[in-house]
Structure 1
Amino acid sequence: MSKRVWVKADWSAPWEERKKFITSALEAGAEAVIVPREDVEKTRKLGNIKIISKSEESDFFFLEASSVEEVEEAISKSRKQEKKTVLSIKISGKKLEKAAIKAGNYIDFLIVISQDWKVIPLENLIAELQEAKTNLIAGVKNAQEAKTAVETLEVGADGVLLNSEEEGFEEIRKTCEILEELKHEKFELSPGKITKIKPVGMGDRVCIDTTSLMKIGEGMLVGSQSHGLFLIHSESLKSEYVEPRPFRVNAGAVHAYIRTPGGRTKYLSELESGDRVLIVNSEGEASEATVGRVKIERRPLLLVEAEYEDRKIKTLLQNAETINLINKNGAPVSISDLEVEDEVLVHLQEGGRHFGAQVEETLLEK
């Protein structure tokens, strides 16, 4: 699951100094920055990033509390706000911890800050607020604290507020990179034995062009059935027919499922620019990528069927030599060279799909 990275930039320093932190937050891909109310307009001119401040012109309205009374007052103010509210609480004892838990039922985003950073109060808040309305944001000072915060009790905080005034603006990039790495999923891949290869006529196929460059051995998980997906290789290989397009996967027919972040799937026909998809390598390691363009064109299709432990899975791919699966040794193999009894990497899972989400149910797909 993605974790939010917010950056604190509202301390009493000259604008030009704090501007470096805001710019770094933008460049590193942070979601939001906290700025003084007088800096909202200047911050908007720097780029597209969510702004948190005490100004009505901000994206999220910012409240602060360091006592139980101030927490109660903040809860009252939040009820009068039309926009989402962010409450930052400095936790200095058990009473404030309990007040924070109460606030979590009313506030959209709850930032908890401890002067001497400790895991235990955060553990308590994570445990108590799992079913609450709020998103729990942990105040941290560096990338290592951020990593600990989002991994605490396995569930972790929903995100972090990084105050890197002492560490420097370079810490923003480190924090974003560490939390990006934690988003990576891992898939179990099995060697599926090819049982059928058959031309099936014309159909609409989908090329997915991403904003990332893929390496040899990387592709996407795609298939005609929810319980089994093939690892379709990217167009990162050299060919006598076309130049490499390492940003692209020719994924197959429009009806097929593709695995997307957060344990979900989409039909290939549903994808559009700005969507997030998963790039998966031959070891099953996955990372997220953004869709830049989707090309749907009518092309001759080929049915590919494979079997693993008496389970059969299928997919339909464009009938062209530039389309590759990945064999059990992690090497790409063109479908024009593919033969019955060859083994290719597949991902198997239980249950069915309901609007892209996995559900435990009896399901028969042919």
Structure 2
Amino acid sequence: MKEFWYWVEEYDRGLIASAIEAGARAIVLNDQGKEEEVKKLGKVSILRQGIDFEYVLIKGKEDEEMAAKYPPNVKVVVETTDWTIIPLENLIAQREELYAVVKNEEEAKTAIKILEKGVKGIVLKSKDINTIKKVGKVLEEEEENLPFVVVRISKILPLGLGDRVCVDTTSILSRGEGMLVGNSSGGMFLVHAETEENPYVASRPFRVNAGAVHMYIRTPNNKTKYLCELKAGDEVMVYDHKGRGRVVYVGRAKVERRPMLLVEGRWENKKVSAVLQNAETIRLTKPDGNPISVAELKEGDEVLGYVEEAGRHFGIKVEETIIEK
């Protein structure tokens, strides 16, 4: 998830409070002596130009070259005088720790999407409360788009008892949304959120009963974790049936022993498999976004999945030969 900083020259309680409420994680404050006042408004970092980051106003090629020369671990904030994306494109290709000053939500949208990678974070300079809120929403709704595939179910095998993980988030999920999990990082199913009610169980739209503890779950920045590693405060990705992803936060990861089910399917020559709890409330996702319970699932059914070349090292995608069965 992209970082959100708010830059204010002089202390203004209302503006800073609005920025924190909109999701800003850091306040750039040049007004000396107001740090304690800011800390009273919320838990947020207070950053100083020249101490916590370097600032470069880009007026021409020389300024762009200067911004590129800072050591790789130095955070560099750049501001363009006429908001052209060319300097940002050039710098994004050279630096990881790059932040862009923006003045509105449109500039924020552009900065986080340039070259598909975008800057590491945006730094908002605005005294308009509505703009602060809009920019916060842009970052909250920052999307990752994945090319989902239609997986045809080929095997359903009841297993014995196993430990499974319910991922309770701090967000309300909608019909058609879920999390990507799988026995392999190279093939994952979209496991649907518990948005559906039935005569026996109320809906839990904040929850995805994600499956066995050993499985991979997709997290931000094209990374994965084992389900057993999840804990309160972790970031995980939620996707809708069109492949649009957003970041949500884990409120609780609950491990319980339950009867399990091996589900396998194929897309072209790729196998997708997962071990899920054997219960009516556990659902995969049809191509149209509707959930289908694993209790009703049968060979030949089509559900949504995601495939890539397998190979992860500590959750990071790597280029190497790995065989997972």
Report the TM-score, using the length of structure 2 for normalisation: 0.91
Match in the other structure for 2:3: 4
Higher relative contact order (CA 8 A, sep 6+): 2
Quick one: distance in 2 between partners of 1:332 and 1:3? 31
- Does residue 1:111 correspond to 2:77, yes or no? yes
CA apart distance, 1:292: 0.4
Quick one: distance in 1 between partners of 2:98 and 2:85? 14
Pick from 51, 56, 60: which aligns with 1:89?
A: 56
Quick one: distance in 2 between partners of 1:40 and 1:292? 30
Structure with more of its chain in helix, by fraction: 1
Quick one: distance in 2 between partners of 1:206 and 1:297? 7
Higher alpha-carbon Rg: 1
Distance 1:107 1:303, change over 3 A: closer
For each residue in 1:190-247, what CA deviation from the matched residue of structure 2 results, as whole angstroms up to 9, or x when unmatched? 2222222121111101100001111111111111122211111111101111110000
Match in the other structure for 2:138: 178
Q: State the AA in 1 paired with 2:278.
A: N
- Does residue 1:144 correspond to 2:103, yes or no? no
| Secondary structure at 1:279 match in 2 | strand
The answer (yes or no) to whether the contact 2:68–2:95 under 8 Å persists in 1 is no
Quick one: distance in 1 between partners of 2:287 and 2:113? 33
The answer (yes or no) to whether the contact 2:184–2:310 under 8 Å persists in 1 is no
| Secondary structure at 1:24 match in 2 | helix
Match in the other structure for 2:24: 30
The answer (yes or no) to whether the contact 1:24–1:170 under 8 Å persists in 2 is no
In structure 1, runs of 5+ residues without a counterpart are 54-61, 64-77, 79-84
| Secondary structure at 1:46 match in 2 | coil
Distance 1:121 1:361, change over 3 A: closer
Distance 1:193 1:22, change over 3 A: same
- In terms of mean alpha carbon deviation, does 209-218 or 114-123 score higher? 114-123
Aligned length: 324
Q: State the AA in 2 paired with 1:4.
A: E
CA apart distance, 1:315: 1.2
Q: State the AA in 2 paired with 1:317.
A: L
- In terms of mean alpha carbon deviation, does 306-315 or 248-257 score higher? 306-315
Distance 1:295 1:124, change over 3 A: closer
Pick from 138, 148, 166: which aligns with 1:207?
A: 166
The answer (yes or no) to whether the contact 1:277–1:289 under 8 Å persists in 2 is yes
| Secondary structure at 1:188 match in 2 | coil
Indicate the RMSD between aligned Cα atoms, in angstroms: 2.1
For each residue in 1:127-180, what CA deviation from the matched residue of structure 2 results, as whole angstroms up to 9, or x when unmatched? 5x427xxx2222222222233333445444332222113xx1221111122233
